[in-house]
């Protein structure tokens, strides 16, 4: 495996200026900032995926948050959604620490990579269909590079699910017809010639709306992530032993 290829892809992503509306928005947010982060130098660019090049499990979100990934330069870092996600990964022994504050805080993921179908923070967290489609080749390429080791994917939220299904097709997997519907805990096998099937799981997004209302609880999130990790062949921590894999 050419492990440097993924690093090169990440660098290319950070220089993308293909979507004028997203470029203008992410840079405007980086200039004006949120008062709580007035002393920060915002990243203000596309945010690449985060995790090792030999990941067996991929987690796909929606897009970077304006004052999260767009500020810190790392997926799900510096916002409450990331707090929930990385805490769950830590509890399962798939992350080195339960928090994600800055891009250089020492967080490491074990066999897991995190990415999104849209790499720029969009206004109101809503990329347009055209922006989604323009960003699609990046994820197709990322899946291609992860393919030798990738065994399972968890997609967070219905937008990510709908955006990612065509990516799997473009990357060479067969998506069942009719297209599988999104649902929390949904599990679909994606076939490919001469390969083991890829396990695809659906999970409610770790948005504040879902976590504050209880639509997605920590237990629900851990259950999906544990099931996906098992399908990917990753060891997970026993209950009550966060951070320590069995």
Going residue by residue through the chain (246 aa), what tens digit of pLDDT does each one get?
567 999 999 999 999 999 999 999 999 999 999 999 999 999 999 999 999 999 999 999 999 999 999 999 999 999 999 999 999 999 999 999 999 999 999 999 999 999 999 999 999 999 999 999 999 999 999 999 999 999 999 999 999 999 999 999 999 999 999 999 999 999 999 999 989 999 999 999 999 999 999 999 999 999 999 999 999 999 999 765 656 553
Q: How does 201-238 read in b/e, with b if 16+ C-beta sit within 10 Å?
A: bbbbbbbeebbeeeebeeebbbebbbbbbebbebebbe
CA–CA dist 54, 31 (Å, integer): 36
The pLDDT, as a whole number, for residue 238 is 76
Cβ-proximal residues to 196 (8 Å cutoff; 6+ apart), any chain: 151
The pLDDT, as a whole number, for residue 242 is 59
The pLDDT, as a whole number, for residue 45 is 98
The pLDDT, as a whole number, for residue 3 is 74
The pLDDT, as a whole number, for residue 44 is 98
The pLDDT, as a whole number, for residue 243 is 61
Asked if 156 and 204 touch (Cβ cutoff 8 Å), the reply is yes
Look at residues 241, 233, 242 and name the one whose alpha carbon lies nearest to residue 96: 242
3-class secondary structure, 192: coil
């Amino acid at each position: 495996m050419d492990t440097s290829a993924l690093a090169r892809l990440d660098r290319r992503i950070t220089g993308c200026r293909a979507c004028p509306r997203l470029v203008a928005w992410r840079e405007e947010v980086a200039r004006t900032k949120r008062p709580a982060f007035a002393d920060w130098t915002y990243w203000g660019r596309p945010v690449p995926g985060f995790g090792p090049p030999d990941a067996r499990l991929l987690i796909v979100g929606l897009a970077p948050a304006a004052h999260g990934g767009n500020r810190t330069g790392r997926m799900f870092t510096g916002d409450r959604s990331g707090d929930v996600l990385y805490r769950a990964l830590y509890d399962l022994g798939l992350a080195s620490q339960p928090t994600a504050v800055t891009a250089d805080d020492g967080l490491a993921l074990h066999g897991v990579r995190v990415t999104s179908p849209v790499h720029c923070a969009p206004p109101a967290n809503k990329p347009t269909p055209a922006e989604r489609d323009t960003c699609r080749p990046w994820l197709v390429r990322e899946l291609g590079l992860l393919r030798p080791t990738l065994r399972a994917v968890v997609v967070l939220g219905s937008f990510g699910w709908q955006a990612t299904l065509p990516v799997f097709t473009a990357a060479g997997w067969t998506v069942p017809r009719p297209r599988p519907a999104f649902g929390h805990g949904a599990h679909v096998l994606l076939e490919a010639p001469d390969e083991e099937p890829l396990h695809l799981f659906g999970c409610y997004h770790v948005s504040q709306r879902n976590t504050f209302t209880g639509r997605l609880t920590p237990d629900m999130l851990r259950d999906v992530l544990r099931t996906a990790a098992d399908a990917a062949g990753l060891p997970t921590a026993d209950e009550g032993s966060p951070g320590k894999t069995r």
